[in-house]
Amino acid sequence: MDRLQTMQTFVRVVEAGSFSAVAREAGATQSAISKQVAALERALGVQLLSRTTRSLALTEEGERYFEQARRLVAEIAEAEAALRRGERQLQGWLRVAASVGFGRLKLLPVVQRFLSDHPGVKIDLKLHDGFIDLVEQGIDVAVRIGALADSSLVARRVGTTRRAVVATPAYLRGLPKGRGSPALPRVPADLLQHNCIVYTELAARHAWSFTAGPGAGAAAGTTQVVRVTGNLQTNSSEIARASVLAGMGIGYSPRWLFDAELASGQLQVLLPDWPAPDLPIHVVSPAQRRHSAKVQAFGDAVMQALR
């Protein structure tokens, strides 16, 4: 059995969704394609596909194997294509991961330009606000914001995220008037009187950090951490964004999440003399993908866009 050939056949069957479609592509019989996949399953000692008369579905073992096999097949095709043409034209699948808000607002334009510049590339874009294991999920490159945990991943810093405390004018106008009512926040401690929208995917969560600027009335560089409270917390950056825009409370967010609203005056920056610490932006990839031409080119594209 040619292991590479059967692996390629298995990947195409999953992508196409049927044995017959791959058989037509290969000019072979449906039975021959089915036998190749069955031979691969016997060699691995696991069932990769659950077959019915009408459909195919990956088993749990098949899902894990498919992600790894698809990446290997793509890398081989990329290397062979480059050798045949004697050039570095990029080919094949690139699996990219990022958080939902960053992916929608900042990364999607990069992906669109990258696909236009490299017509031989196909991108599988996975957006998720939680942690993703790149190796387990078969991800080639991810964009991560914030301090990185020690790991075997290869990281490259490509930018910086500025953060701000923001609220709508409607929220601020709606604050109750009178003695003991919340005042417009002037110092970080004032946030304790306000309804704060908490994004739980940040490591600090409720602990919002600030550093004194020139007009803060405190020694420049002084750090203050306030443990805020509110009636809504969420693991979704999109829900946090929508809640702030709806005037439900105060947000502590990357400025890029609200670029348009800040420019239009729909949102107001609070505590301008007490900026939140900036966060680094990295592209990270598994160690075995560090020399991939596609990964390097995509990292270059992200860095250029963030400048």
Average pLDDT over the chain, rounded to an integer: 88
Q: What's the rounded mean pLDDT across residues 62-90? A: 72
Q: Are 251 and 106 in contact (CB under 8 A)?
A: no
Residues 170 and 125 in one domain: no
Long-range contacts of 54-63 (CB under 8 A, 24+ apart): 55/17, 56/13, 56/14, 56/17, 56/18, 56/19, 58/14, 62/14
- Asked if residue 74 has pLDDT above 80, the reply is no
Distance linking the first and last C-alpha atoms of the chain: 50
- Asked if residue 173 has pLDDT above 60, the reply is yes
Residues 267 and 196 in one domain: yes
* CATH code of residue 192: 3.40.190.290
Domain region containing 10: 3-70
Residues 154 and 286 in one domain: yes
Q: What's the rounded mean pLDDT across residues 26-51? A: 88
Q: Are 126 and 96 in contact (CB under 8 A)?
A: yes
Which amino acid makes up residue 26? A
Q: Whole-prediction pTM value?
A: 0.70
Helical H segments across 45-189, by residue range: 60-85, 100-102, 108-117, 134-137, 169-173
Predicted local confidence at residue 180, as pLDDT: 53
Whether 84 maps to a domain, the answer reads no
**Of 115-119, 134-138, 167-171, 249-253, which range is least confident?**
134-138
Predicted local confidence at residue 13, as pLDDT: 86
Predicted local confidence at residue 15, as pLDDT: 80
Q: Which residue has the higher pLDDT, 183 or 213?
A: 213
* CATH code of residue 29: 1.10.10.10
Residues 121 and 167 in one domain: no
Residues 171 and 231 in one domain: yes
Counting the structural domains of the chain, the total is 3
- Asked if residue 182 has pLDDT above 70, the reply is no
- Asked if residue 156 has pLDDT above 60, the reply is yes
Whether 269 maps to a domain, the answer reads yes
Residues 168 and 255 in one domain: yes
Q: Are 96 and 123 in contact (CB under 8 A)?
A: yes
Predicted local confidence at residue 79, as pLDDT: 65
CA torsion sign, 171 to 177 to 181 to 187?
positive
Residues 177 and 214 in one domain: yes
